[in-house]
Amino acid sequence: MESLDSFETELEVGSAGVFDVYVDGRLIFSKHKENRFPEHDEIRQTLGI
């Protein structure tokens, strides 16, 4: 299993509690749309890693 630490990440300060996760410019998770934070390993599963 590949660690998420091996990926380049960038944190952008948002406003109003925005928590969006983008991969290669594609939105893969939005707290605003889902009305929750991602579950444990949800991002990893979405990426298939």
pLDDT digits (tens, 9 = 90+) for 4-20: 667 777 888 878 888 99
The first and second tokens of residue 23, run together, are 């991969």
Report whether 3 contacts 27 (CB < 8 A). Answer: no
Whole-number pLDDT of residue 8: 79
Residue 46 · residue 39 · CB < 8 Å: no
**Higher per-residue confidence, 3 vs 28:** 28
The whole-angstrom separation of Cα 1 and Cα 36 is 26
User: What length does the chain have?
Assistant: 49
CA–CA gap between residue 8 and residue 28 (Å, rounded): 16
- Domain holding 17, by residue range, is 4-47
Q: Please count the structural domains in the chain.
A: 1
Whether 26 has a pLDDT exceeding 80, the answer reads yes
